[in-house]
Amino acid sequence: HIGSSLERKPGGAVLRSRVQQPLDPSQPIDMSFQQIGEQFVQHYYQTFDTNRAGLAGLYGDSSMLSFEGEQFQGAQSITQKLASLSFQKVQHQVVKCDCQPNPTENGVIIFVTGNLLVDDNQNPLKFAQTFYLRQGPSGNYFCQNDMFRLNIG
């Protein structure tokens, strides 16, 4: 059974691939770029929907966020922006998750489309989001680039 865990590191939390049993779970293994991307997306939106401040560990100091045309750099700045969004409740519904490898950096490019339910509004907003996960020196993944847009009009 293949799984993953997120570990918090000084440069940001990272996705670490692991085999849970019967192999030694302390040894990272290679997961496909699709598995890495899908597991990141599941963790990202679950965390966003329940504890936006908890997203800080997914970014590093050099990470960039483009949110509706505004630019933010670094985990602290990105998390401040996401935590300051004016809604109380939010639920992401992923419709599609497309992933591609970036073999030159062992990275993963992720493109997500979906629906966003905000507060008690039952009319979902359409959104698109792109992530670039980069592998750090220890083999862990973090979000280097994040671009978000609502699909309005």
- Segment 2-34, tens digit of pLDDT: 334 444 444 444 454 433 333 333 334 456 899
- Segment 106-148, tens digit of pLDDT: 899 999 999 999 998 889 999 999 999 998 877 889 999 999 9
Confidence of residue 83 (pLDDT cuts 50, 70, 90): very high
Residue 136, judged by CB atoms within 10 A of its CB (0-12, 13-18, 19+), counts as middle
Q: Are 75 and 54 in contact (CB under 8 A)?
A: no
Please state, as a whole number, how many other Cβ atoms lie within 10 Å of the Cβ of residue 18. Answer: 17
Torsion angle of C-alpha atoms 96, 48, 143, 84, degrees rounded to 10: 120
pTM: 0.80
Please state, as a whole number, how many other Cβ atoms lie within 10 Å of the Cβ of residue 107. Answer: 20
The per-residue pLDDT for 138 is: 79
